[in-house]
Chains A and B, each alone.
Chain A
Amino acid sequence: KNEVEQSPQNLTAQEGEFITINCSYSVGISALHWLQQHPGGGIVSLFMLSSGKKKHGRLIATINIQEKHSSLHITASHPRDSAVYICSGEGAQKLVFGQGTRLTINP
């Protein structure tokens, strides 16, 4: 069964800190998606990765296929980055989701 596990479940940091959220996945997952869910509930897709690294502004996502591990990094974190970040694995035309990481950035 395809599985995705995230850590940590909750993360609180001060504004400006470098943030890392981790995602491990099982055999059968061919690509990873990172999603952001704002306090209002809306979900936005941040990245889709099948290899290497992608960068968008202060957000960086990496994936190590051999280790079946992906990380989402946020540089110079800001209170507006406070949200739930969800890792999602794609396998056999279906998506499976991690439990999410609730990130709170304090000013």
Chain B
Amino acid sequence: EAQVTQNPRYLITVTGKKLTVTCSQNMNHEYMSWYRQDPGLGLRQIYYSMNVEVTDKGDVPEGYKVSRKEKRNFPLILESPSPNQTSLYFCASSKDNSYEQYFGPGTRLTVT
């Protein structure tokens, strides 16, 4: 089954404790992206990747890191999480940025 998986689905953590949210797709897609969704602000793009070893900033990259060492995986790293990073995070992939995107199920992160 074609899918994008994210782990964990729910995470409660404390300020400053490094965490990684994993994202994996099994469709051999080249384009992958991370978004955060906040009430009143909608979806906003954090980082995207056009292909392996090619990543670039979206609209809200501050406080986040990504890597794309393999085509299928695109982890989101929060080196020192802060409460303003409490949000719902989505990973997505597509054949390239001009094609339909497939979204992961979301990760609800709470930073206390």
Is A7's CB within 8 Å of the partner chain B? no
Q: A42 to B105, Cβ gap below 8 A?
A: yes
Q: A48 to B42, Cβ gap below 8 A?
A: no
* Residue from the list A31, A41, A95 in contact with B106, Cβ < 8 A: A41
Shortest CB–CB separation between residue B48 and chain A, in angstroms? 7
Looking at chain A, what size class is its interface with the partner chain?
20 to 34
Partner-contacting stretch, out of B16-24, B64-72, B76-84, B92-100:
B92-100
**Chain A CB within 10 Å, residue with most, of B43, B56, B88:** B43
Complex: chain A residue closest to B102, CB-CB: A45
Q: A99 to B97, Cβ gap below 8 A?
A: no
**A-B pair number, CB within 8 angstroms:** 52
Shortest CB–CB separation between residue A83 and chain B, in angstroms? 14
Is B74's CB within 8 Å of the partner chain A? no
| Cβ–Cβ < 8 Å partners of B58 in chain A | 94
* Residue from the list A33, A48, A96, A100 in contact with B59, Cβ < 8 A: A96
Is B44's CB within 8 Å of the partner chain A? yes
* Residue from the list A44, A86, A95, A98 in contact with B33, Cβ < 8 A: A95
- C-alpha gap A93/B58 in the complex (Å): 9
Shortest CB–CB separation between residue A45 and chain B, in angstroms? 4
Shortest CB–CB separation between residue B18 and chain A, in angstroms? 25
Task: List 20 A-B pairs, Cβ < 8 Å.
Answer: A30-B98, A31-B98, A35-B103, A41-B88, A41-B106, A43-B103, A45-B100, A45-B101, A48-B98, A50-B98, A88-B43, A93-B48, A93-B50, A94-B45, A95-B35, A95-B97, A96-B45, A97-B42, A97-B43, A99-B40
Residues of A within 8 A of B (CB): 30-31, 33, 35, 41-45, 48, 50, 86, 88, 90, 93-100
Residues of B within 8 A of A (CB): 33, 35, 40, 42-45, 48, 50, 56, 58-59, 88, 90, 92, 97-103, 105-106
Which 4 A-B pairs have CB atoms at the shortest separation, nearest pair first?
Answer: A43-B103, A97-B43, A45-B100, A99-B42
